[in-house]
Structure 1
Amino acid sequence: MRRGHCTRRARLAAAAAITAAPGLSLASPPFPTARPITLWVPWPAGGATDITMRLLADIASRHLQQKVIVDNRPGAGGTMAMPILQQAEPDGYTIAQIPQPVLRVPYTQRVLWDPVRDVTPIIQISGVTFGVLVLGSSSFRTMDDLFAFAKAKPGELSIATNGVGTTPHVALEELFTARGLKYIHVPYKGTAEQLLAVETGQVMVGVNSTGFAPLVDSGRLRLLATLAAKRSPRWPTVPTLKELGFNIVAMSPYGLGGPRGLPPAVVATLHDAFRKAMFDPAFAHEIGKYDQELEYLGPAEYGAWIREQYAKEKLVVERMGLSREAADAARAARR
């Protein structure tokens, strides 16, 4: 009797210890049943990226059998979600879109996060088509027209981008500053407000991603060139910058990432759901409206791309004099 009593007490004590232990499966429900997942999108609501991300999240929700809520955090060239990701618990309930500026900004500004150290890659989804845009009634009809104006009236050509240190901004620096031409850079938080500024004449030129497609198709904006590797089937008469003799090709691939230390099983669950979502015909149709194509990479391949691209961005920033050290030196020289 005493022996059986002791055995029962030992079993009960062991069970209580397992139940109380933090992080064990008995103490927490399996992912993602506990609560909705938040997907942080570092661009304003209403733009092309926001619209497509919301559709992707909605489709992924069905496969996860859990709601994926999109939350916007615009500003800082598309990097505002990074501090959130850095501080989030690695439980899968906080993820973010990872645009290419995330891999560039640590070299141009002082930030507390690191895109390799602080991100667990989940999936690469797509890239964008960037274009140089003017008002449909503008007298600018070619890139040469822009250069001629900038040469004749230094510092009067106003050009909008979606932020300091973004891919369009880097392309502008290479197009203009490297050739000794001055322009006024007008950064915006996102695509929608930047396109509105071009359309209403607040700025003379915009360099933007494919949220411009409907406006170009309607004739309200004119597309002078794209930053793609080849001409778009949608606008076959519009040249690429590469065709025009500029060694600039930019598609700015993006994907999804979670906080550092995200468990492999959680990564696999999220990857599988979002992979199904991105290949859903409804999503493919939606990004097709903005001249985007699917550019799938799994977690390992996407992680390798992030590391490789992060190293390349350092070389680009240094070559163009955009590093934070160069900025500090320029400020010191002005004092």
Structure 2
Amino acid sequence: MTISRRHFIASLGALSLSAKAPAILAQGLGDYPNRPIKIIVPLAAGGGGDLTARQIAKLLTERMGSPVIVENKPGAGGSIGTSYALRTPADGYTLLMLSSSHTCNAALRELPYDSIKDVEPISLLKRESLILVGRNGLPAKNLPDLLEIAKKEPGKITYGSSGVGGITHLSMEHMTDLAGVKLNHIAYKGTGPALQDVLGGTIDLMFSSVAIVVPIINDQRAVGLAIADHRIPALPDVPTFKEAGVPEFKSDLWHAVAGPKGIPPEIVAKLNAELKAVLEMPEMQERIAAEGSQAVGSSPEEFQQTIENDIAQWKNVIQKTGIKAE
């Protein structure tokens, strides 16, 4: 078989490029990071997302040899801090802590940024199941009994949420739409006040993160009716929604790291690898497990798909239920 001189030279060129690929990748990284990296948390200090960001920042600092600091920019349901972060240079030095609220906001409100196109996904960090919590003395022993009461007396059962369009509100509307019932919604300014009224018997139900209510349920100050996705060891008697008769229900709380669109792929790959390594550390695994959450460590593509799927789901719920932003 005769090989032309042109094809021979082309083959040598391809081999040369292949051999240089790792070097090219390293050259793209340069000396990144050579100055502090900032993680913007678009929520107030002290919450679950903020505490996770600070632990991640501490461990990334140790691994990467450059300071990683957390800056809180709360307000407008997280959109102020998100808007700020997405308008910074796409160089990998300003990152953004995102949560499920990002997709709820995108589904309900007009925002000063595109919640998909303006975001460079890096990695999901953790997922936490939502749990349906009822007050003591609720006139139902389980979720099927509760739904039966709601069908017979629409609007009699009351539930609280952290606010109109939040994940606890949209999740309840999603569940009641699937079950074909109508509950009476009372919006609060945060999860804490709503939970206090569940404990005080003022309202009947609410959705909550597992981490907040495990001790409350175990102390029999409230009742766990159903949990999303899977049972957890901390609450072994609380059934899943599938087991309780609402198999299509899907909702969870997640936290993740992203940045402004256009971060070089080499830097995205490095940050993704570093975040995955941090999530595998025993101290991080223990911390996340103690919260009732699961460490994830996804690819950027998987994170992107989560954002798109969640926005589509919440838009569908909003359209079907007629929820309006306040």
Task: Name the residue aligned to 1:115.
Answer: 115
Instruction: Work out whether residues 168 and 206 of structure 2, in 8 Å CA contact, stay in contact via their aligned partners in 1.
Output: no
Describe the superposition over 1:279-335 as per-residue Cα deviations: whole angstroms up to 9, x where unpaired.
Answer: 11111111111221122212233234434444444444434444xxxx49xx9xxxx
In structure 2, stretches of 5+ residues that fail to align are: 1-29
Task: Name the residue aligned to 1:95.
Answer: 95
Mapping for residues 214-233 of structure 1, pairs under 5 Å: 214-228=215-229, 230-233=230-233
Query: Secondary structure in 2 aligned to 1:123?
Result: strand
Describe the superposition over 1:206-245 as per-residue Cα deviations: whole angstroms up to 9, x where unpaired.
Answer: 21112322333343433221122x3223222111222222
Instruction: Work out whether residues 168 and 208 of structure 1, in 8 Å CA contact, stay in contact via their aligned partners in 2.
Output: yes
Task: Name the residue aligned to 1:167.
Answer: 167
Report the residue type matching 1:113 in the other structure.
Y
Query: Secondary structure in 1 aligned to 2:168?
Result: helix
How many residue pairs align between the two structures?
294
Query: Secondary structure in 1 aligned to 2:39?
Result: strand
Describe the superposition over 1:181-207 as per-residue Cα deviations: whole angstroms up to 9, x where unpaired.
Answer: 231332434x55554454455644321
Instruction: Work out whether residues 41 and 70 of structure 1, in 8 Å CA contact, stay in contact via their aligned partners in 2.
Output: yes
The farther-off stretch of 180-189 and 89-98 is 180-189
**Using the alignment, how far apart are the partners of 1:197 and 1:96 within structure 2?**
33
1:277 CA drift (Å)? 1.3
Task: Name the residue aligned to 1:47.
Answer: 47
Q: Taking structure 1 as reference, are residues 138 and 47 closer, same or farther at Cα in structure 2, changes over 3 Å only?
A: farther
1:154 CA drift (Å)? 6.0
1:155 CA drift (Å)? 5.1
Instruction: Work out whether residues 161 and 194 of structure 2, in 8 Å CA contact, stay in contact via their aligned partners in 1.
Output: yes
Report the residue type matching 1:54 in the other structure.
R
**Using the alignment, how far apart are the partners of 1:137 and 1:289 within structure 2?**
29
Instruction: Work out whether residues 92 and 267 of structure 1, in 8 Å CA contact, stay in contact via their aligned partners in 2.
Output: yes
**Using the alignment, how far apart are the partners of 1:84 and 1:320 within structure 2?**
32
1:145 CA drift (Å)? 5.8
Task: Name the residue aligned to 1:124.
Answer: 124
Q: Taking structure 1 as reference, are residues 235 and 279 closer, same or farther at Cα in structure 2, changes over 3 Å only?
A: same
1:62 CA drift (Å)? 1.0
**Using the alignment, how far apart are the partners of 1:156 and 1:80 within structure 2?**
37
1:124 CA drift (Å)? 1.3
Instruction: Work out whether residues 173 and 317 of structure 2, in 8 Å CA contact, stay in contact via their aligned partners in 1.
Output: no
- Root-mean-square deviation (CA), in Å? 3.2
Query: Secondary structure in 2 aligned to 1:129?
Result: strand
Percent of aligned positions with the same letter in both sequences?
Answer: 26
Report the residue type matching 1:234 in the other structure.
A
TM (norm. structure 1) is 0.74
